[in-house]
Structures are given as C-alpha cells and as structure tokens.
Structure 1
C-alpha cells in the first residue's frame, strides 16, 4: 500500500501524536560544519550553517507536530540567541550518533508519541512536504528513511524504537544507509523511502547547492 492510500487504514490509532526531533548545535565559529570549513574556511562555513538553520526552521514552522530540539553542548562563544520558537529544548547525551538518536526517539515515545521523525540541519532540499509524507507513510510502514546522496540519510522515522537500527554503524560514512536498510530487512520491517536529497557537508556539496539555486531548482 502506498503512503497516499494509508489515510483510510482502519487499524490506525484514533489519536496520533506526531513528534519531530531536530539535532542541531548552536552557531559557533570553528565548531560547526567543520568538513565544509576545511574547504571554504570557518567564517563561510558558519554563514552557511546559519542559512541551513533558518531553512530547517522555515520548513518545520507549520508542521502539526510536537517539536524537540536536541542540542549539542555549546562552546564558550556559541550564539544561543535563536529562540527556535515552538521547540522544546533538550541536551544531546554523550555517546556516538546512534546512541544519541536512540535516546531522543526513546524520549519521544516515553512522552506519548505514536510516530516520531528525526532530522538534522544539513539538508537544504528538505521541504515541508517531505516531512508530511514521512508521517503519512508511518501509518502503513514501520520505518521511513530519507536517503542522502552521500550514502547516509537526512531523515529517519519510526513508530517504536528499533535498537538494531542504531547499533554497529560507522557514522558519517557512505555505508550508513545500506547498513540501516539491511538491518530493517533482517527485522522484517516495512520501509518507505523518501526522495534522495543532498546534504551540505563539503565544499563540493555547497557548490552543488549554489548551482541548483542559480538554476532555480
């Protein structure tokens, strides 16, 4: 069954609590987008990061979901002035990315979520429609994945915590998506894939984004 057909699912709970989890860090020179900074310098990387934060806020503003902002530890020069209106803030716990994401999902479900989606702040191609489609797909699928062109993913959604999806991953490598999908297959989970999008992590990614903007795409 496609995501567009799922709204008539008679087994769907009467009350749906959709949660959105955003992983981010406060803007801070030399501490954000370090891979990008290696190619364009820390000042330019900070400027790009602020644009990505603004984009993430814009596409989630009208999303009918309870919103959680999980923040990395701030450094002494971090700009903490952005209010992130509509978000409840939480500190990211210690541990690798998988442990931190699993903790955030577990918190959302403990707070009553029936479907939760996590995103970062690296994807300028992310739209409100992608997020809406993710929640719609979770009516009929256990997992939703937004594949990134670098072999990772820009979005992960689920209706309960599957610890295997967060374990034994080489985070920030091109094997993350394939390993996650392989785990989902072993668990017998139905996975809905969103369109593939490009994160902005390197100077090449930034050039591709700027070129697409000039072309109006």
Structure 2
C-alpha cells in the first residue's frame, strides 16, 4: 500500500482545442456555437487555474490534433507550460482514458488522476485531496450530479474500470463503483459537483 504522500503524482487533462463548432455541441444546440465556444473558453480558463494552483505534473490529452500549435514542443495557449498529446483513435472514451493512465504509470507515476474541462466547481483543493486520498485508497472518484464523474484517480492501472460502460450516461459512476467493489478496491469519494453540458446546466451554473 502506498502511504508516502510524496509518491510521484501526475494529472491527466482531457480537453479540446477551443475551435468554433468543435466544442460543447450539446450546449451549442441550445445557445448557439459562438456562445458555446465562449463558455468553453471560460471553463478552460477555470480548469487551467485550478491545475496551476495544485502544482502537480500534468499532461493535456487533446481529443483531436490542434490546428494552431504545430509541434508538441510548443505549449498550447490555454495550457502554458504543460506538455500535450493527442488521444489515440480508440472507439470509446474508456479506451482513451485507459491509454492515458497507462502512459502515466509507465512513465513512473504512482498516483494518477484524470479530469475533463466541464466542471466549473472544480478547485485546486479537490485535486489536492484526490492525490492525498490516493496514498491510502486504490480509487478516488469525483461524482458529477448527472451520474458521471469529473475526476478519477488510480494508483495502478485498472483496465476493468474502463470496460463495458455506457459513456456519457447516468450509469457511469454507479457502474464504476460496482466494478471497483468487485475488484476489492478501496475507494474514496470527493464532493459531488456539477458539469456544464447543456443549456439547462449553464443556466443552473449562472444562477448558482
């Protein structure tokens, strides 16, 4: 069991380049593509700030190759100072996440967490707590109130947690917890937060 809080940690960020028509398509259906792009830029800036504050080595994994930054040696404008890679052309989100986790563990990390860029309530405190919990737990999950999760942390590869899931549905969190239980993995939960995926989500965020 890892109990050293200084064990190498790594944060994985699944993101998209902020390009009109390629981000927040569900949100764009309700408020238009231009407005959705602005919201996405706001969410990116919020997430980047939280990541910078936690001061943990991090890698940005883009859903598609960027159009504005030609070489991986150049930092992305939204993520200054962070290395980036392109997610593999896998059929499922789970396969892409499993690949990113495997790469981080292969590079020597002992505590790895993954986040997206849809959660305006995410703070550096959530990230710090996730890595602290990974010193005594096998799995850390940050539940989203839509039934998914905004963060998943592991201290060793767990391929089963990424298999047989209906991604982007309200069963993802429950199915992941069930798999973790079947694998006898010690699991911890962070506070439940709210994702912004639709116009209704956006309205709720603005009111809150």
TM > 0.5 fold call: yes
Question: Are 2:193 and 1:202 aligned?
Answer: no
Aligned to 1:109: 105
Aligned to 1:86: 81
Q: Which moved more, 1:66-75 or 1:109-118?
A: 66-75
Distance 1:31 1:131, change over 3 A: same
5+ long unaligned stretches in structure 2:
70-75
Q: Please state how far the C-alpha of 1:85 moved relative to its aligned partner.
A: 1.7
Length-normalised TM-score, structure 1 = 0.89
Distance in 2 separating the partners of 1:74 and 1:58 = 23
Q: Which runs of 4+ in 1 moved over 2 A?
A: 11-15, 78-81
Q: Please state how far the C-alpha of 1:14 moved relative to its aligned partner.
A: 7.9
Q: Please state how far the C-alpha of 1:16 moved relative to its aligned partner.
A: 1.2
Distance in 2 separating the partners of 1:86 and 1:135 = 21
Distance 1:136 1:15, change over 3 A: closer
Distance in 2 separating the partners of 1:14 and 1:211 = 38
Aligned to 2:59: 68
Aligned to 1:99: 95
Distance in 2 separating the partners of 1:200 and 1:37 = 12
5+ long unaligned stretches in structure 1:
1-8, 213-217
Question: Are 2:12 and 1:28 aligned?
Answer: no
Query: Once superposed, what is the RMSD of the aligned Cα atoms?
Result: 1.6
Question: What secondary structure, in the 3-state scheme, does the structure 2 residue paired with 1:87 have?
Answer: coil
Q: Please state how far the C-alpha of 1:176 moved relative to its aligned partner.
A: 0.4
1:39 to 30, 55, 59: 30
What is the count of residue pairs matched by the alignment? Answer: 201
- Is the Cα–Cα contact under 8 Å of residues 17 and 65 in structure 1 kept in the other structure? no
Distance 1:47 1:79, change over 3 A: farther
Length-normalised TM-score, structure 2 = 0.92
